[in-house]
Amino acid sequence: MNAQTELTALIRALAKRDWEAVDGLLEELRKKEWAGATQVIGAAFVLAVHRRFRRGQDLRDISNFVAETRSRYEGGNELPALAMEGMIRAALGEVDLMDEINPDNYLPAQIVILGTILQDENLTDDQLDEFVRDVEEAAAEYM
């Protein structure tokens, strides 16, 4: 049983900083062991990265964003900067960089980057609905 519904609800809650909803969803996700997170969070991550960056983006923009993101959170330094940068670049097309990153870093780094980008964009409800629809559609092909 995959947790697509809970994962997309989590993306909404993170974007809106609705921590009460996040707590409830984490309970549900524990029961379902985050099944499908690689696909759903991964798809959301790629789509969010493309909202923030362009293909061929100056690498300094990416490293500045990563440095700023890591400094923004108390536990930000737990995430390796190179892994975060590599994952953003992989989302922009340099997919071979994924092989150089420990897969244990995929999910935490993707959640932090995804949440940061969506919170910064301060999406309207309609925009968030549209984003989640795109995520569901993209992830569904790989579930």
Enumerate binding residues for another protein (CB under 8 A).
10, 14, 17, 19, 22, 26, 29-30, 33-35, 37-39, 41-43, 46-47, 49-55, 61, 64-65, 68, 71-76, 78-79, 90-93, 95, 98-99, 103-104, 106-112, 115-116, 119-121, 126-127, 130, 133-134, 137-139, 141-142
**In angstroms, what is the minimal distance from the CB of 83 to another protein?**
12
Cα–Cα distance between 87 and 103 in angstroms, integer? 11
Q: Which residue's CB is nearer to another protein, number 1 or number 99?
A: 99
DSSP conformation class of 79? S
**In angstroms, what is the minimal distance from the CB of 108 to another protein?**
4
Per-residue tokens: 38: 């690689």
Q: Which residue's CB is nearer to another protein, number 8 or number 116?
A: 116
Cα–Cα distance between 79 and 91 in angstroms, integer? 17
**In angstroms, what is the minimal distance from the CB of 96 to another protein?**
8
**In angstroms, what is the minimal distance from the CB of 56 to another protein?**
10
Cα–Cα distance between 82 and 74 in angstroms, integer? 18
Cα–Cα distance between 56 and 54 in angstroms, integer? 6
